Amino acid sequence: MSESLPVNSSKEEIYRELLPQIEAVIGGTDDLIANLANVAAILKQAFKKFHWVGFYRTTAPNLLTLGPFQGPPACVLIPFKQGVCGTSARTQKTVLVPDVEQFPGHIACSILSKSEIVVPLVHNGQTALVLDIDSDELNAFDQTDQNYLELIVATIAKQNFCNPDNQMP
Ligand code: SME
């Protein structure tokens, strides 16, 4: 995986190397849970400042449930009206939070989390899941992260939600 890159690689170089790896890994199975688990692991391994990487899936109207993740244990249920994850799920937009203490309603699953990005996967007009990444550094995420993480979520959508041979429940 990204061990082949020099230690001083830019995050853009790391993401560029990760994208084909993610495509190859998730292209090998139609199992959504396996794919989310591997994407969480690949991202967590690639970036030291990613303190928590995982997914919340929509399991009932306006409700997210914890899915595969890497990092400390996290809250299980998040209503769409709460937190950064709920905001992203409700607005169907990526939410970038440079300082979680400045985000009204932020849900603190870990006191170590200082900044956060949440990217929604929208299918047929509905939020199917969100990718949530927390960092123990302030201001850890920028437009580069947003662009590549949105591409990664689009890759999951293509593999697990748009393939007619491969529709998920
Ligand atoms: N901080 C998130 C909750 C999930 S944890 O970060 C893993 C939120 O405000 O929605």
Tell me the per-residue pLDDT of 122-162, one tens digit each, with 9 for 90 and over.
Answer: 999 999 999 999 999 999 999 999 999 999 999 999 999 98
Query: Is there an atom of ligand 1 within 6 Å of 84 CB?
Result: yes
The pLDDT of residue 60 is: 98
Residue with the smallest CA separation from ligand 1 atom 5 is 109
Residue 129 burial (CB count, 10 A): 27
Query: Is there an atom of ligand 1 within 6 Å of 129 CB?
Result: no
Whole-structure pTM value: 0.94
Rounded average pLDDT per 10-residue block, the chain, 169 residues: 67 96 94 98 96 98 98 97 98 98 92 96 97 97 98 97 63
Query: Which is the closest atom of ligand 1 to the Cα of 69?
Result: 7
The pLDDT of residue 3 is: 55
Element (H, E) at 37: helix 32-46
Residues with Cβ within 8 Å of residue 107, at least 6 apart in sequence: 75, 78, 82, 83, 84, 85
